[in-house]
């Protein structure tokens, strides 16, 4: 219980609920390390660049990291769209945009 309370749940209650449901279905406790990665510590902002370009770069970095982790957690199927709270066609579009291979 303490590990669950201390984990960084990026998606808040929805992500925690999905994790607990996965554990219940699989009847095992999954690793928490895959749930979240470094967030603010790895954020490098280059203020010498124009705001719009730097913002776009950071958003692209976030999207790529988020969807790589999402695929590791959910693999194929509708579960990843539901977990992310977005339509699966949007997920496919972002995966193609970032050159992420689907399992």
- Which has more confidence, 7 or 35? 7
> Over the stretch 27-51, which tens digit does the pLDDT of each residue have?
767 666 444 444 444 567 788 889 8
End-to-end CA distance of the chain: 32
Element (H, E) at 85: none
> Over the stretch 47-87, which tens digit does the pLDDT of each residue have?
888 989 988 888 888 888 888 888 888 776 667 777 788 88
pLDDT value for 30:
65
**pTM for the complete prediction?**
0.55
pLDDT value for 33:
44
Q: Is the pLDDT at 4 greater than 50, yes or no? A: yes
User: Could you tell me the CA-to-CA distances from 78 to 70, 75, 88, 90 in Å, in that order?
Assistant: 12, 9, 7, 12
CA–CA separation, 66 vs 59, rounded Å? 10
CA–CA separation, 43 vs 89, rounded Å? 28
The residue to which tokens 């279905």 are assigned: 25
pLDDT value for 22:
73
Q: Where are the domains of the chain?
A: 1-36, 38-103
């Amino acid at each position: 219980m303490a590990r669950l309370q201390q984990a960084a749940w990026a998606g808040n209650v929805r992500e925690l609920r999905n994790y607990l449901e996965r554990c219940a279905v699989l009847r095992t406790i999954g690793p928490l390390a895959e749930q979240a990665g470094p967030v603010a510590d790895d954020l490098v902002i280059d203020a010498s660049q124009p705001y719009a370009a730097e913002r776009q770069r950071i958003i692209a970095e976030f999207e790529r990291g988020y969807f790589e982790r999402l695929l590791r957690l959910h693999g194929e199927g509708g579960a990843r769209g539901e977990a992310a709270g977005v339509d699966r066609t949007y997920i496919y579009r972002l995966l193609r945009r970032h050159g992420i291979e689907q399992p």
